[in-house]
Amino acid sequence: MDDSIHKVFEGSWTYRSFKNDIKQIDPKDPIENLLFGMGTIEIETSKPNILQGRIYGPQWSLNLTGNITYGNPFTIDFQGKGIVGSEKWIYNYIGYLANSWSNGIDQTPTIIGSIVRTIPHSNSNGGTNPAGVVASWFAVKQ
């Protein structure tokens, strides 16, 4: 495999995710009301089909492990695990490398995908963020 293909996902990516719950989405809401998460993804690819790294933001960080599939489109699937505060957080992600437009200009590699909260954890209001919540995400290479 061409080494440049092997390393297409390597590096830092600016990450944003948005809620997929129609009960919580009002088209008139400002974008920040739809935000599920934001941070940075750092991806390492030490072996051709293996992904590792971390996703992090202010006061949280998850270690990433997963797989890369080289096809059309290139696909990544990984799990993020970590202790945030005193709780275990686990999320599963799938993402696809967005295709470049033949007539596009200034295109930056972008991953688009879906995320699911695998186990529940507390929220900042004293309640619980339940397992099974799904969001859409994208990440743009830095």
Q: What is the pLDDT of residue 108?
A: 95
Q: What is the pLDDT of residue 1?
A: 53
What domains sit in the chain, N to C, each tagged with a CATH number?
Answer: 3-141 (2.40.128.30)
Q: What is the pLDDT of residue 84?
A: 95
Q: Phi and psi dihedrals of 23, rounded to 5?
A: -70, -25
72: DSSP letter: S
Residue-level pLDDT, tens digit, the chain, 142 residues: 566 776 899 999 999 999 887 777 777 888 888 889 999 999 998 788 999 999 999 999 999 999 999 999 999 999 999 999 999 999 999 999 999 899 999 999 999 999 999 999 998 888 899 999 999 999 999 9
Handedness of CA 101, 106, 111, 112 (dihedral sign): negative
Which one-letter amino acid corresponds to residue 80?
G
pTM: 0.90
Q: How far apart are CA 129 and CA 50, in angstroms?
A: 30
Q: What is the pLDDT of residue 47?
A: 82
Provide, for the chain, the percentages of residues in helix, strand and coil under a 3-state DSSP scheme, each rounded to the nearest 5.
10, 55, 35
Chain centroid offset of residue 5 CA? 20
